[in-house]
Structure 1
Amino acid sequence: MKILTPLAVSASALGAVLMMSGAPQPARADLPPVGAVVQAVPPLQQGLPSLAPMLKTVMPAVVNIAVTSKAEIQNPLLQDPFFRRFFGAPEGQQQPQEREAQAIGSGVVVDAVKGYVLTNSHVVAEADSIRVRMSDDREYDAKLIGKDPDTDVAVLQIKADNLVALKMADSDQLQVGDFVVAIGSPFGLRQTVTSGIVSGLSRQTGISEGGYEDFIQTDASINPGNSGGALVNLRGELVGIPSNILSRSGGNIGIGFAIPTNLARDVMTQLVSNGEIQRGRLGINGQDLTPDLAKAFSLSTTRGAVITRVLPKSPADKAGLKSEDVILEANGRPIENFAQLRNRVGLMRIGDKVTLKILREGKPREVAVTIGKEEEIAADTANLHPQLKGATFAPLDDAARKNAGDTRGVLVQAVEPRSAAARAGLRQGDIVIAVNRRAVQDLEDFSKLANPQAPELLLHVRRGPGALFILIR
């Protein structure tokens, strides 16, 4: 007895066939002929939902990025004076060796005409060469237009024809619960697609210390290699750039973060125009509005940012902002805490105007402030000693003054890995209090003393509770 292919037979029909005896049975009009090969109906004709049609148009815009860099290798034995003398190594030199390192990430084409590709800053941070591989296996050398570590956004450019670019959606329209799809190259597996929902908005994780964070949280699976890829909505529009994950194991546990396109678009515009980001500022210090502070100020709300100090002659001072003002909104968007206010202002352009809704002595009012230049970096590193290259110097903030117990000196705000300043021994958080035995009062003093003409620099540095001297030649 012949049995029909199960794919083409319903459960009731199959039962009827199994119960048949050897005697011929009359043919049924609703069944195909015995032994016939029946083709499955295409999913779209069956009315089954599928992301495939959307992904066919989106995936050609998502690229694989291969980065080659050189990493220094320190021989720990040569750090010991005895071994340096034994092997004849010069004193004071640790003779670092270099090896070639490779890394992979993802990117997304956002301008098909000019060949602009968005990715993460950390993907290309140490790149000596960058190679972009398209979904059709075409490969191109990429030019780094600019990168901004504070937002983890970088812009590349490739020269190629027939590119496909994704439309950048208004990420402010996203809502928790919206369906999203992540596309990238996790662990080098190109063109990998995962789906999920928007789990949260405006997340500040503290992962990038001192950075500007306004993340989209999603449970769409994001793993190493997804960085810089695409987070798209169901219309195939770019809503975010996957950046990092929260995980104890290094693998996905359903908590991933993506940079919203509105933030990425603003950063990209500045990088393309200027090659760098010019941070805006209000000129205030502040803190979160806690329930205890709200009670002390006789306020009904517990969300907002409290101004604790207005810097003299700053944009905030000129606009009339005062200490104890509580900022509730910036350009109509709610402010939950001081970090969110810092993000909003820091991502605005110098000269832009922001309308702040504030509470002063419990009464609401609006104040318009023109965004000014960020004055954290007043020392021009181009006019400093070349061995200080890679370090960012800033005036002492309140926390640094408190820790140092002094008001003089300059703060080492950041030190780029593998830079001359890093090799010299400077660290983030150091406070330079003297150069060549001359006291440093402020950035102006430091700029004069640490000039390129100085044959060497003897830096007196405070580091935590202690102090040390660093000789730079």
Structure 2
Amino acid sequence: GRLVPSAGAAGLAFAPPQGAPLSFADIFQQVAPAVVQIDVKTRVQRPNGGGFLQIPGFGAVPIPGQPRGGGSGEEGEDDNSTTALGTGSGFFISADGYIVTNNHVVENAEEIVVRLSDERELTARLIGRDPLTDLAVIKVDGGNFPFVSFEDKAEPRVGDWVIAVGNPFGLGGTATAGIVSAKARDIGGNENPYTDFIQIDAAINKGNSGGPTFDIYGRVIGVNSAIFSPTGGSVGIGFAIPAGIAKETTDRLIRGETIERGYLGVEIGPITRDYQQALGLETRRGAFINNVTADGPADKAGLKVGDIVLKLNGREVRDSNDLTRQVGAVQPGRQLRLDILRDGRAQTVNVTSGKRPSTAELYGRQDGEAEGDAPTPQRGSVSVDVGGLSVAPMTPALRQQYEIAAGTDGVVITARGKGDNAVLQPGDVIMRAGNGPVRGVEDFRKAVQDSRTAGRDIVFLLVRRGAQNNPFVLKLPKSE
């Protein structure tokens, strides 16, 4: 049945009971029966060199089955795939057999076996998974399983004690303790854009994925998901999905719901200190729109490249990650009221939220950057020096030479930048400078002069290269 650890002092949600720092044995004894080991068999593509398999959040780790068993796994008959055996962790959240784990533990699993603390082994089936929060729910048949509950109301503070329980390196039933090191961490990448991770220093390693993070009362405050480590072993920096996100997502998966999220159809980025200074902004709050997807919700509503989103439905947007999560929390089809800054002036734009495509659809169709040396400027192109850069107005010849897509307008860089600006290459297109669009060389020249007049030696640029828009802060020479 449900495990109900004793509560703490009234009114102090995370105040330690007397003697808590001396031992966590009682807590572990209470909650350990709910934690399980998960063994999975998956079909993976055989690497072209070396026996390594990429697991999100854990870098390159040896394919289980090769180093452990000494064999090479079961090879596919006609393809370049092999069977990999992996292990992870999970925990019961109900007496009738529902288990929470990470999506990356059971993703593409052909077989899932759960090993309980009493050594029973049960076959599990997948109920549902959500790659964007790295959460999944599986189920075993039976009843009266010991289970634990998410604590989604009382939030832990930085410095509060935590206990991680799981199956590191296949060792089973292992407990580690530490504190909450930080909250609301964004750990980069496109795998989990909707999660503000809890950072903990309790040791978690490969195999801890999907295991619970407990507070000192045995309440689940997070789901262990990733580590930051150059070696794959613990260096004291682990990340857990907060209980609030985990409970909401797993409840929906258990109900059989498809997880749908709102979608704007924009590429956004943070406002760095350099961007703030170059644009003359009062704060770094907000999200900068680098690109607008053609025919997407934002495009249809009139949002433009260079807009800075300050609020969504009256709620302040702290940064680009915050905007992603706010939009994702809105159901497709709902109205979004965006307070934006455009060319230095405040405006409001109303957008009808779309449905977010899969990660593969979003990121798999981008062209990326071209390889090799950049082409040399075409003879006869009329280049001028502005802000220390050689630039030329857009012409059909330059568009053809640098393979610049139709609809990409601005001034073309015709020689590699110097010094701090060396990252800029021939063929890059300056689309925006300062707070406005660049339609020709004079627009760029005026933005440079406006920055100098304002006492700044930098200019904010939005540069198009290939299929990507890239913000850049141009360092101006002392004199022209």
Change (3 A) 1:71 1:48: closer
Equivalent position to 1:109, from 76, 79, 92: 92
Give the aligned partner of residue 152 of structure 2.
Answer: 170
Q: Distance in 2 between matches of 1:342 and 1:97?
A: 37
1:316 and 1:133 map into 2 onto residues whose CA distance is 48
Q: What pairs up with 1:16-165 in 2 under 5 angstroms?
A: 49-71=22-44, 95-96=78-79, 100-113=83-96, 115-165=97-147
| Residues 73/314 of structure 1: CA separation in 2 closer, same or farther (3 Å cut) | closer
Query: Does the 8 Å contact 1:186/1:224 carry over to 2?
Result: yes
Of the candidates 251, 266, 276, which is equivalent to residue 233 of structure 2? Answer: 251
Structure 1 residue 277 corresponds to structure 2 residue 249? no
The equivalent of 1:215 in structure 2 is: 197
- CA gap of 1:393–1:220, structure 2 versus 1, over 3 A, is closer
C-alpha distance 100-330 of structure 1, shift in aligned 2 (>3 A): same
Pick from 204, 225, 228: which aligns with 2:186? 204
Structure 1 letter corresponding to 2:95? A
Instruction: Report the Cα distance in structure 1 between the residues aligned to 2:212 and 2:132, rounded to whole angstroms.
Output: 20
CA offset digits 1:1-47 (Å, max 9, x no partner): xxxxxxxxxxxxxxxxxxxxxxxxxxxxxxxxxxxxxxxxxxx9999
SS at structure 1 position matched to 2:203: coil
Deviations 1:376-400 (A, max 9, x none): 78xxxxxxxxxxxxx7587955x65
Higher relative contact order (CA 8 A, sep 6+): 2
Give the C-alpha shift of residue 108 in structure 1: 1.6
Unaligned regions of 5+ residues in structure 1, if any?
Answer: 1-43, 77-92, 378-390, 409-463, 466-473
Q: Is the partner of 1:58 in helix, strand or coil? A: helix
TM-score in terms of structure 2 length:
0.58
Deviation, structure 1 residue 186: 0.9
Residue 283 of structure 2 is aligned with which of 286, 297, 301?
A: 301
Opposite residue 57 of structure 1, the aligned amino acid is: Q
Q: Which has the higher helix share?
A: 1
**TM-score normalized by structure 1?**
0.59
**Separation in structure 1 between the aligned mates of residue 82 and residue 162 of structure 2, nearest angstrom:** 40
**What CA deviation, in whole Å up to 9, does each residue of 1:109-162 have, x standing for no partner?**
22334x321111111123211011222233321111222333321111122211
User: Would you say 1:289 and 2:271 are equivalent positions?
Assistant: yes
- Does the C-alpha gap of structure 1 residues 214 and 405 become closer, same or farther in structure 2, counting only changes over 3 Å? farther
Counterpart secondary structure, 1:303: coil
Structure with the greater alpha carbon radius of gyration: 1
- Alpha-carbon distance between aligned partners in 2 of 1:261 and 1:48, rounded to the nearest angstrom: 23
RMSD: 4.1
1:7 corresponds to: none
Q: Is the 8 A contact 2:134 2:192 kept in 1?
A: no
Asked if 2 retains the 8 angstrom alpha-carbon contact of 1:223 and 1:245, the reply is yes
- State how far apart, in whole Å, the 2-side matches of 1:157 and 1:124 are: 12
Partner SS state of residue 111, structure 1: coil
Secondary structure of 2:109 counterpart: coil
Change (3 A) 1:297 1:177: same
- 1:374 is matched with which residue? 356
Partner of 2:69 in structure 1?
A: none
Q: Secondary structure at the match of 1:165?
A: coil
* Cα separation, 1, equivalents of 2:141 and 2:347: 51
